[in-house]
């Protein structure tokens, strides 16, 4: 912008020099005019020439000033336009750089997600293989179990027997009973079984209703459930009785409560065999 203003001022100065050079012959012409006899006429001509020269110089100065102002305005506008263009270009470069950084970040996140997916798929495949292996072993054990039951049934079966029992304390005066019962009939078919549980102390007894009231037993049956202890009752013994077909078995246990299990850790009645740990 400064160069533009400087060029305009230089142009005005050149115009002023050109006009001055052009004006010099005119002045020489006036000097060489024939001498007039009248002093008043010569004096008048000199005064007129000087006035014309002064007016001409003033006009040139005004023209130069106008051109300088005009050149400054044009240069200022061009400078603003150039600055705006440069600022827009810088803003575009910054935006492009930001987009490049975001693209790199997204690519890194995508690579991490792909790696996590591959690890998850690998773990899933490993779990699937282990599950198939366990399923196969379970089927094999089931087949072996069926063979043993068939053999036992042919040999007269296994009489009704209570394998074990325990009571576990829960929250809010609630208790969980666990009994494991075994039986294999001589026919190998399931048999209906009715369990009963009674709490005893020195003076009274309380029968606890079991749900379900009837089970079907064909090998080992786990009897599980919960009950709320009646207020003010302190049992000393538990009588557990089972009836199936023509067989009846009764077991008497001393009242022993296992370790207290907090309600927040309670996951429902336990299906584990008695004596295998919690």
Answer whether 193's CB lies under 8 Å from 243's CB.
Answer: yes
Q: What is the pLDDT of residues 65-75, one digit of tens each?
A: 877 777 777 77
Please report, for residues 5, 6, 214, the alpha-carbon distance to residue 66 in angstroms, rounded to integers and kept in the order given: 12, 14, 118
pTM of the model: 0.51
Of 222, 227, 223, the closest CA to residue 208 belongs to 227
Taking the C-alpha atoms of residue 112 and residue 124, their distance in angstroms, rounded to an integer, is: 18
Report the run of H or E that residue 23 belongs to, with start and end.
helix 2-31
Strand, helix or coil at 35? coil
Q: What is the pLDDT of residues 108-133, one digit of tens each?
A: 889 899 999 999 998 999 999 999 99
**Cβ density class 125-156: b for 16+ within 10 Å, e for less:** eeeeeeeeeeeeeeeeeeeeeeeebeebbeee
Q: What is the pLDDT of residues 179-207, one digit of tens each?
A: 999 999 888 888 999 999 999 998 999 99
Please, is 235 exposed, middle or buried when counting C-beta atoms within 10 Å of its C-beta (0-12, 13-18, 19+)?
buried
Most confident of 6-15, 143-152, 249-258: 143-152
How many Cα atoms are found within 13 Å in the side-chain-facing hemisphere of 46?
9
Q: What integer pLDDT is reported at residue 41 of this predicted model?
A: 55
Answer whether 175's CB lies under 8 Å from 169's CB.
Answer: yes
The fraction of the chain above a pLDDT of 70, given in percent, is: 74
Q: What integer pLDDT is reported at residue 61 of this predicted model?
A: 79
């Amino acid at each position: 912008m400064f160069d533009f203003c400087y060029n305009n001022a230089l142009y005005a100065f050149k115009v002023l020099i050109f006009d001055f050079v052009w004006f010099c012959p005119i002045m020489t012409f006036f000097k060489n005019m024939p001498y007039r006899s009248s002093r008043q006429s010569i004096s008048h001509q000199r005064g007129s020439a000087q006035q014309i020269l002064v007016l001409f110089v003033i006009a040139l100065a005004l023209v130069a000033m106008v051109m300088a102002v005009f050149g400054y305005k044009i240069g200022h506008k061009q400078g603003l336009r150039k600055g705006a263009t440069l600022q827009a270009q810088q803003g575009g470069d910054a935006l492009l750089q930001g987009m490049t950084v975001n693209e790199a970040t997204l690519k890194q996140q995508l690579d991490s997600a792909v790696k996590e997916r591959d690890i998850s798929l690998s773990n899933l495949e490993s779990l699937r293989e282990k599950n198939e292996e366990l399923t196969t072993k379970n089927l094999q054990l089931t087949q072996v179990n069926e063979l043993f039951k068939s053999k036992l049934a042919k040999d007269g079966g296994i009489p009704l027997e209570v394998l074990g029992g325990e009571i576990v304390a829960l929250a809010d005066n609630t208790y969980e009973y666990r009994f494991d019962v075994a039986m294999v009939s001589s026919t190998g078919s399931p048999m209906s079984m009715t369990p009963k549980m009674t709490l005893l102390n020195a003076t009274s007894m309380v029968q606890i209703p079991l749900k379900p009231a009837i089970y079907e037993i064909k090998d080992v049956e786990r009897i599980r459930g919960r009950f709320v202890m009646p207020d003010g009752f302190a049992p000393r013994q538990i009588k557990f009785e089972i009836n199936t077909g023509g067989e009846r078995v009764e077991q008497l246990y001393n009242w022993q409560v296992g370790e207290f299990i907090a309600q927040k850790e309670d996951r429902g009645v336990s299906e584990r065999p008695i004596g295998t740990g919690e």
